Amino acid sequence: MAVTALVGASVRRKEDPRLITGSSTYTDDLVLPGMLHACFLRTPYAHARIRSIKTERAKALEGVVAVFTGKDLKDALKPIPCAWQIPNAELKVPDYPPMAVDKVRYTGDIVAVTVATDRYVARDALELIEVEYEPLPVVVDMEKAVKPGTPLVHDNVPNNVCFDWKLSGGDVSKAFAEAEVVVKERFVNQRLIPNAIEMRGALAQYSSATGELTVWMTSQNPHVHRLLLSMGLGIPEHKLRVIAPEVGGGFGSKIHLYPGEVIVSLLSMKLGRPVKWFEDRHENYVGTTHGRDHIQYVELAAKKDGTILGLRVKVYANMGAYLSTVAPGIPTILFGFILPGAYTIRNVECEVFGVLTNTTPVDAYRGAGRPEASFITERLVDILAHKIGMDPAELRLKNFIPPEAFPYQIATGLTYDSGNYPRALKRAMEMIGYDELRKEQVSLRKKGKLLGIGISSYVEICGLAPSKVARATGFGLGLYESCTIRVHPTGKVSVFTGASPHGQGEETTFAQLVAEELGIPIDDVEVVHGDTALTPFGLGTYGSRTTPVAGGSIALGARKIKDKAGKIAAHLLEAREEDMVFEKGRFFVRGTPARAKTIQEIALSAYTAENLPPGIEPGLETTTFYDPENFVFPFGAHICAVDIDPETGEVKIRRYVAVDDCGRVINPMIVDGQVHGGLAQGLAQALWEEAVYDENGNLVTGSLAEYAVPTALELPKFELDRTETPSPHNPIGAKGVGETGTIASPQAVVNAAVDALAHLGVTHIDMPLKAERIWKILRQSGATK
Amino acid sequence: MLLLSAFLGDETVLVCQGFMWIFDQSNSMIPRQFQYVAPSSLKDAVSLLREHGEDAKILAGGQSLIPLMKLRLMSARYLVDINHIPKLSYIKEEKDIIKIGALTRHAEIGASKLMKSKLPIMLDAASVVADPIVRNVGTIGGALAHADPSGDWGAIVLALGAELVAVGPKGERRIKAGEFFVDTFTTRLGPTEILTEIRIPSPRKKSGGAYLKLERKVGDFAIVGVAAQIALGDGGICVEAGIGLAGAGPKPIKATLAEKALIGKKMSDESIKKAAKISAENTDPPSDIRSSSEYRKAMVEVFTRRTLQAALDRMAQR
């Protein structure tokens, strides 16, 4: 039973056997006796008045149990709440009815629902509903949307601006007045579709006999969903149980409360039978939130020697047709505060306009605000480097916050916990052979070949917490995390976490933490999550918070268990508590390791309970809520080398090197996996993915055939390394790593592509870097005919 | 377009813009009801088609048909599965004709030794059709009959001067590849005919071919694809040239003028460049989410040149 350092070991994932063999249970796998199937009719018009809806033909179809319109359910359906009401921003939260009653405002708005004994019948019935629409003028373009006189998405939100958020630190006007060099640019951070492999859905079962409602749903935060559903449906929390069965990815899109989950819950209550709805991919594309979608006007002030003085940013953030659950916080709090990035930029000014349009609501998507910020800083640093003729690596090294300055308060008020930015960048440069690549670039250019090198030295803010900060920014709840650790009489351990992992591997990571703390085999620990009836109240899994925050609660909880076990051991060994030594799961009196009590023996004593020290309760169990004192700030340096085909404009990634620092690493294999997945999605934004609407508000990239999600075949070999700078305030020294890939990588690729074309006078190219876009630039510059 | 509108139910709003569909946003991945029949002979299959007319569709690999049905862009009341009909899947050479059964899977073509030695261009195409999963199930006959303008096999059969064999109520007939494609998703096949075989003349000794395509990502529809097969006579004079284009128009296109520009000339950088230019000049490609017409046109030129060069290089290696 010898246990050696589990923390830091690439333990195979405990969740994999059931996932790989397909034996796990997802929401759509669930079948209950008497279960009905619901299908939603969503409007084909992005903006229209509903004149009439006829449902008779649909109701007459064999197998159809019920058909409801928005009007039918109007009184029972409360508006979808917005839970991140940012202060001091003139926030206007428009009414968000789960089903449209008079008006539809984007092509995902639900106008009717069919309920049938069979999913296929429910779908067929949709075609028998006749809706008469009066089309209204559509607003898609953000910059047009804010102009006076433009049609309004919501009559009570003038100019379609739902918030105007400002942040400043230092004296930006002075910085720009004193600047010797100013670089300016307009960036488009395009709209993305999260594309979790499992789409969204819910199964609701209501018992009128007990008044209890159980909802199985695709959730990243079942406790939050229970609270929001409870408020919306009027069922008290103790009668409402939310279960997230196996969840196949979320990337932020399963944080929110959507109309679908509310409607099926209501239908089950109305019809007295279990009701299931599960979206298909197309419905997912229009009905599940999107991410990013910024237009950014940015400028950077500097001295000729490359010293950066100030940063000014004005952003239009597309919020879609309604404000989704945490939407206002994404392009503001999670975006603006981190703008200075890794640099000692003492003067920063940022203004963000939240703009409503007739499009799918935009909310958190992997990285959520931070990729949009990091892109600005890292692109501007490159543009500045090219302008003053300095190597972009040298410019970064010149402006980095020095390692000895931590903890370091940046201009926006955040205090970075720890960091060593030059070390990460130097390691990445060494791995890719930076100097040799630069030489090769010069010689290839002479032959008409295009090689570019792009750096991204990012810092991000994650481990979303603490509660004081969350509340000060208008977040609806605190941001802590919880766990219950139950040591059973035989010494086996169940860990109940308030977080809700859905692919990230924390069943393994957390088991490693507990096994290490208690000195027991990892197979003796089971991690339970995703069921509000079993787990303590927690905020869920997003914002790279699960390992630093929920993991922190687990480490602290395990230490409390160890503490109590130590007291029992001392009592059993008839020794003083302070003389006890704990080593590899055994307590003994210092100097006499042969005479020891194992954790397992102590657990049994705790439950037989006839011989416990005075004042000690029976049992060995603890519940811990951990509310961190600060965020954690992972960082790193990514370097990308691209070759551009001068004839076609195709951008091919030759090398991709990522050096990430997420503090103390618990499972290196899982961390690598998180980096791989994040890079895949970040490179996807750089090169392929883009949600496109036409002027009528139709999502023209409405399927996986049009929206280009890359596969392993398109992606380069990822060359990874890490530096390890523990977070000084976190109980396990860990920082998050779930989002570093999407935060760091888009600008590494764009910097590389622009670098390849810099000699042609190119300063910026918007994402995705489509071959045609590059080809046009090449042709305009005369490099190709 | 003609055929497409016949596929569609009355309720579905559909606009065809280039190759891209903007469809009713409530469309889902659940097909309408249909009946499934699996005849065991060609004769039975043809009589089922006669019986049900436009209501019936042939199911070969189903890699285009089933997604269209799931999106309700198309509805077939009867699905006539021809996979149980024997002797429709083969690759063989008889009397200087290479014959491919219509039910032959893309992956089988990709693994064929005969193709590797005689027509490596077929391997080029078989390795880039859609993605590996589709290649294991999808068939060459199904892909040709579906007649997607950006499909790979259309360009290939045009470059190779193939003949397509169809069986209908009146028996068998052969259709020249150059006459097979009528319009987007529309071929010369009648509603009661089944494509059964692709016949390609065995290539001469001094010949070579290649297929190259530009796509956003593996498995995506081609932005453009160019197939070229050339044969040389004495002194490096081009005696045969076939060029087929994918994604360059409303249907797969045979670049006849470019072919003519090569035949009788000595193959050189100059002649290749000229042919590529002609190839592009005579296209009027569509614009869609993947690419503008202008870019497609330019890429037809680049890829015609690259493909002809690759065909020559391949010949040199043999």
pLDDT in tens, B30-59: 899 999 999 999 999 999 999 998 899 999
Question: Is the same domain home to B101 and B189?
Answer: yes
**Is the CB of residue A708 less than 8 Å away from at least one CB of chain B?**
yes
User: Is the peptide bond between A194 and the residue preceding it cis, with omega within 30 degrees of 0?
Assistant: no
Residue of B nearest to A771 (CA): B216
Question: Is the same domain home to B276 and B235?
Answer: yes
Distance between CA atoms of B158 and B153, rounded to whole angstroms? 8
Q: Which residues of chain B does A703 touch, with a Cβ-Cβ cutoff of 8 Å?
A: 71
pLDDT in tens, B146-185: 999 999 999 999 999 999 999 999 999 999 999 999 999 9
pLDDT in tens, B94-138: 999 999 999 999 999 999 999 999 999 999 999 999 999 999 999
Question: Is the same domain home to B118 and B68?
Answer: no
Q: Which residues of chain A does B25 touch, with a Cβ-Cβ cutoff of 8 Å?
A: 42-44, 107-108, 282, 286, 698-699, 702
Q: Do B28 and A650 touch (CB under 8 A)?
A: no
Residue of B nearest to A45 (CA): B25
pLDDT in tens, A733-775: 999 999 999 999 999 999 999 999 999 999 999 999 999 999 9
**Is the CB of residue B27 less than 8 Å away from at least one CB of chain A?**
yes
Question: Is the same domain home to B175 and B220?
Answer: no
Q: Do B26 and A771 touch (CB under 8 A)?
A: no
The distance of B153 to chain A (nearest Cα, Å) reads 19
* pLDDT bracket for residue B1 (50, 70, 90): very low
- The predicted structure's pLDDT at residue B14: 34
- Domain containing B287: what range? 207-317
- The predicted structure's pLDDT at residue B6: 34
Assembly ipTM:
0.93
Domain of B291, CATH number, reads 3.30.390.50
Residue B315 · residue B208 · CB < 8 Å: yes
Q: Would you say residue B18 has pLDDT above 70?
A: no
Question: Is the same domain home to B191 and B226?
Answer: no
Which whole-number Å values give the CA distances from A535 to A168, A236, A484, A653, in the listed order? 41, 17, 7, 44
* Average pLDDT value for chain A: 96
Minimal CA–CA distance to B246: which of B268, B224, B219? B224
Q: Is B207 helix (H, G, I), strand (E, B) or coil?
A: strand
- The predicted structure's pLDDT at residue A342: 98
Q: Select from B30, B48, B81 the last residue of a domain.
A: B81
Which whole-number Å values give the CA distances from A411 to A171, A414, A432, A488, A729, in the listed order? 10, 8, 32, 50, 21
Q: Would you say residue A623 has pLDDT above 50?
A: yes
Distance between CA atoms of A226 and A236, rounded to whole angstroms? 9
Residue A640 · residue A752 · CB < 8 Å: yes
User: Is the peptide bond between A407 and the residue preceding it cis, with omega within 30 degrees of 0?
Assistant: yes
Query: What mean pLDDT comes out for the span A218-242?
Result: 97
Q: Would you say residue B7 has pLDDT above 60?
A: no
**Is the CB of residue A26 less than 8 Å away from at least one CB of chain B?**
no
pLDDT in tens, A716-738: 999 999 999 999 999 999 999 99
Q: Select from B158, B182, B201 the last residue of a domain.
A: B201
Q: What is the DSSP letter of A101?
A: S
pLDDT in tens, B72-105: 888 899 999 999 999 999 999 999 999 999 999 9
Domain of B49, CATH number, reads 3.30.43.10
> To the nearest whole percent, how much of chain A has pLDDT over 70?
99
Question: Is the same domain home to B229 and B310?
Answer: yes
Scanning chain B, the segments in alpha helix (DSSP H) are 2-7, 42-52, 65-70, 106-110, 113-118, 120-126, 132-137, 140-146, 152-160, 177-180, 256-262, 269-281, 293-317
Q: Please check whether residue B187 lies inside any domain of the structure.
A: yes
Interface mutation vs chain A, best among B25, B213, B226, B273, most A CBs within 10 Å: B25
Question: Is the same domain home to B188 and B263?
Answer: no
Which whole-number Å values give the CA distances from B119 to A514, A653, B178, B180, B230, in the listed order? 62, 32, 19, 21, 11
Q: Would you say residue B10 has pLDDT above 60?
A: no
Query: Residue A56: which residues within 8 A CB-CB, separation 6 or more?
Result: none
Minimal CA–CA distance to A723: which of A653, A655, A674, A671? A671
Question: Is the same domain home to B173 and B235?
Answer: no
* pLDDT bracket for residue B219 (50, 70, 90): confident
Q: What is the DSSP string of A628-689?
A: -SS-B--EEEEEEEEEE-TTT--EEEEEEEEEEE-BS-S-HHHHHHHHHHHHHHHHHHHHT-
Interface mutation vs chain B, best among A650, A715, A772, most B CBs within 10 Å: A772
Query: Residue A430: which residues within 8 A CB-CB, separation 6 or more?
Result: none
Residue A310 · residue A179 · CB < 8 Å: yes
Distance between CA atoms of A51 and B55, rounded to whole angstroms? 35
Interface mutation vs chain B, best among A118, A126, A650, most B CBs within 10 Å: A126
Q: Which residues of chain B does A699 touch, with a Cβ-Cβ cutoff of 8 Å?
A: 25
Q: Would you say residue A358 has pLDDT above 80?
A: yes
The distance of A684 to chain B (nearest Cα, Å) reads 11
Q: What's the half-sphere exposure (Cβ side, CA atoms, 13 Å) at A9?
A: 16
Question: Is the same domain home to B22 and B114?
Answer: no
**Token pair for residue A318?**
């597309």
**Is the CB of residue A783 less than 8 Å away from at least one CB of chain B?**
no
Query: What mean pLDDT comes out for the span A358-377?
Result: 98
Spell out the domains of chain A, with CATH numbers in brackets.
Answer: 16-22+480-626 (3.30.365.10), 31-136+197-249+254-287 (3.90.1170.50), 291-464+630-780 (3.30.365.10)
Query: What mean pLDDT comes out for the span A326-345?
Result: 98
**Count: domains in chain B:** 3
Q: Select from B186, B201, B216 the last residue of a domain.
A: B201
Q: Which residues of chain A does B219 touch, with a Cβ-Cβ cutoff of 8 Å?
A: 711
Q: Would you say residue A8 has pLDDT above 60?
A: yes
- The predicted structure's pLDDT at residue A415: 96
Query: Residue A612: which residues within 8 A CB-CB, separation 6 or more?
Result: A568, A571, A605, A606, A618
Distance between CA atoms of A115 and A277, rounded to whole angstroms? 9
Query: Residue B221: which residues within 8 A CB-CB, separation 6 or more?
Result: A705, B19, B148, B150, B215, B247, B290
Q: Please check whether residue B86 lies inside any domain of the structure.
A: no
A596-598 and A450-459 beta bridge pairing: unpaired
Query: Which of the residue ranges A94-98, A167-171, A623-627, B73-77 would you say has the lowest mean pLDDT?
Result: B73-77
Minimal CA–CA distance to A377: which of A462, A457, A294? A457
Q: Please check whether residue B145 lies inside any domain of the structure.
A: yes
Q: Please check whether residue B113 lies inside any domain of the structure.
A: yes
Q: Would you say residue B230 has pLDDT above 90?
A: yes
Question: Is the same domain home to B138 and B180?
Answer: yes
Amino acid at the residue A271? L
Q: Please check whether residue B180 lies inside any domain of the structure.
A: yes
Query: What mean pLDDT comes out for the span A594-614?
Result: 97
| Helix, strand and coil percent figures for chain A, each rounded to 5 | 30, 25, 45
Q: Do B289 and A124 touch (CB under 8 A)?
A: no
Domain of B146, CATH number, reads 3.30.465.10
Query: Which of the residue ranges A55-59, A279-283, A418-422, B80-84 would you say has the lowest mean pLDDT?
Result: A279-283
Question: Is the same domain home to B170 and B187?
Answer: yes
Residue A453 · residue A752 · CB < 8 Å: yes
Question: Is the same domain home to B231 and B272?
Answer: yes
Query: Residue B192: which residues within 8 A CB-CB, separation 6 or more?
Result: B46, B49, B50, B53, B168, B169
Which whole-number Å values give the CA distances from A479 to A88, A371, A635, in the listed order? 21, 21, 22
